[in-house]
A and B are shown apart, each in its own frame.
Chain A
Amino acid sequence: MNSVSNANQEQEATEIPIVKPKKNKRPLKTKLFLFGMMLIPVLHGICYDLYLKASTIRMMFSDQYGTGFGFYWVSRALSEAVSWNSMTGIAIQNIFGVAIIFNFIGIPIEVVMSYFFMKKIPATKVFRILFYLPTLLSSVVTTLVFNFMFDNTIGPITYAMREWGWNIPMQGLFFAPSTGMLMIYVYIFWLTLGSSTVLITASMLKVPASILESVQLDGASNPTELVRFVVPLISPILSVMFLSNVMAGFSLYTEVILLTDPAQSNIYTVAYLVTEGARTGRYYEAAGRGFVFTVIAIPLVMLTRWFFDRFLPDVSY
């Protein structure tokens, strides 16, 4: 009995006590490295960004003279927004116009074109390069080159349209209020149809070949294969494109400046109103309008994201 208890005591004495390991301290040089690497990103990405946001909110909610708190600029922008023919009202209509046209007409066409690229129709590689090329050119060049086609003095398409009996407005298709925005849509369509097709094709090519082979073995036709199998499998890229088309209406600036004269053609967009306001020193007016557009954009983005999260299948392959 004694020998057993002695043995236990000895065992306890020789057992290494369990000590909680000390937290591994990071060397000073690593801390300095992290400090150096993160200094500018934190200063710029957070401090400067927060300063800009705070400054914008201050401008939005200031009085008429920008000296104190008030609702002058916001209420002015809100009262403009509810008027159908005001600049802010027109910009809001254009947000929805772009979103509807490019989502409900553009995306279906791009999906069909991509499907044929996936099926490797003749000269697919050449098409893909040519379709993508214009997006790598300066927007000044693409807008100018497109504009020449419809110029009232030199445009070959304008001349052809006149010969075919079309009634071209005196001030030109881009400058007439009745056709200006339509021409901007045509321009965006012309430019982005190909590049968006290339993007969707990239996504389609990632759909496993085994899935498509089994679909074909089951005797599915091309439309069935596209609508019931391919489209659900590429829904992540489609949701991203849908969302970016919703946001595109907010960011039309270059097209408006380079293709039209907003004062003449009565075409206004969010980016044009906000940027031109700020560029010409009307900071508070631009910020007030920015508030209205932000109030529209946030729920629009949230709603779109919620819709896709709720109704699109969770795809993994």
Chain B
Amino acid sequence: MAWKRDKRTTTISQYISYWIAFAVMVVYTILLMYPFLWAFSCSLMEAREFFSKIGQIFVLPDKMDFINYVAALNTKVLATDSSGITRQFGIFDMVGNTVFMTIARTLIGMVCPICSAYCCAKYKFLGSKFFFYYGVVFCGIPFYGGVSAVFEFIHSLNLYDTVGGVLFLSINTFGGFLFYYGFFKGVSWEYAEAAFIDGASDLRVFLHIMLPQVFPILFTFLVNGFIANWNDWMTNYLYLPSKPMIAYGVYMIQEQATVTSNWSMLFAAIFLSLSVPLVFFLAFSKRILSTVYTGGLKG
């Protein structure tokens, strides 16, 4: 529908209903965005100005002041490891931890399902069907209480609160397995056969012929996985509390800031933590939304 009514295809009642729907969408968008805009506006205020404007629905800073962002960059949180040693972490330390862990966890999380999906899709071997159905059926059955066994397991191997422990937990054999299986199933095997005749090994065929063909789709998954891991605070909170990453770090800053009522600095820290996912979204918005649209089910 265009902004103006096409009399041949749209009746007046339809046209009115579209504009009512448009108004509803605008209201929801305002409700959705308002908390972020309010917090952003408050992050640009000095503490005194913020407290003087408490209770106002529409707040705009008298002058743009980035002092809270400087304060957020200099703020430190305290984290104690299992041996009782307390360390200070600034935003840059947390970003460093996050970059390393996000890249490592994203890659580890994708490698296993890609390898197994490729083998199951393109080779027939003993147990391939069992593996496939185990992943599809057995892992689809809800099973609660397993987190106790995970905690017991990583404690028994002294992996609790270690980077190795979290990386081990990042292995996700059946995460996205069906998607990858479908992608590889759809790729023609003729190129591989030609490469085998030319003397290529299975590994070379996988790395140089099959993977590049599904790379655009894998890249979309990579971007989504990166954003999800960047934002993941729960793994950090549960299994690696002594090395705060940015999402968990914001939670820790919030605990400190609410005690000292340093709200504006907290808002600034929140928006600093958002910068990377937002840049990623702006850079790859088409790819990210394409996942949503290719994922839309039909019969």
**Chain A interface (Cβ within 8 Å of chain B)?**
26, 29-30, 33-34, 37-38, 40-42, 44-46, 49, 51-53, 55-56, 59-60, 113, 116, 119-123, 127-134, 136-141, 144-146, 148-149, 153-154, 156-157, 159-160, 190, 193-194, 198-199, 201-203, 205-207, 216, 222, 233-237, 240, 247, 250, 253-254, 258, 270, 274-275, 277-279, 281, 283-284, 286-291, 293-294, 297-298, 301, 314-317
Contact = CB atoms under 8 A, between A and B. Distances in A.
A290 B299 CA distance: 35
Given A34-B119, A119-B1, A140-B248, A284 B296 contact: no
Given A127-B25, A194-B28, A133 B281 contact: yes
Contact of A145 (B118, B203, B270): B270
Contacts of A207: 298
Main secondary structure of the interface of B (DSSP, over half): helix
A29 B202 contact: yes
B142 A298 contact: yes
A41 B299 contact: no
B148 A198 contact: no
A105 B7 CA distance: 34
Contacts of B137: none
A139 B116 CA distance: 31
Main secondary structure of the interface of A (DSSP, over half): helix
Contact of B231 (A122, A138, A194): A138
A211 to B, nearest CB: 12
A52 B153 contact: yes
Contacts of B233: 138-140, 254
Contacts of A157: 57
Given A145-B270, A314-B299, 17 more contacts: A26-B125, A30-B123, A40-B112, A42-B131, A44-B171, A51-B149, A52-B146, A131-B28, A132-B292, A136-B288, A140-B251, A194-B28, A236-B298, A240-B297, A291-B145, A294-B142, A298-B141
B52 interface: no
B263 to A, nearest CB: 6
B148 A56 contact: yes
Interface of B: 1-3, 9, 14, 17-19, 21-22, 24-25, 28-29, 31-36, 38-39, 54-57, 59, 112-113, 115-116, 118-119, 123, 125, 127, 131, 134-135, 138-139, 141-153, 171, 173-174, 201-203, 206, 227, 230-234, 238, 246-248, 250-251, 254, 261, 263, 266, 270, 273-274, 277, 281, 285, 288-289, 292-293, 295-299
Nearest to A282: B148
A113 B18 CA distance: 10
Specify which of A45, A128, A283 lies most central, judged by the most chain B CB atoms within 10 Å of its CB: A45
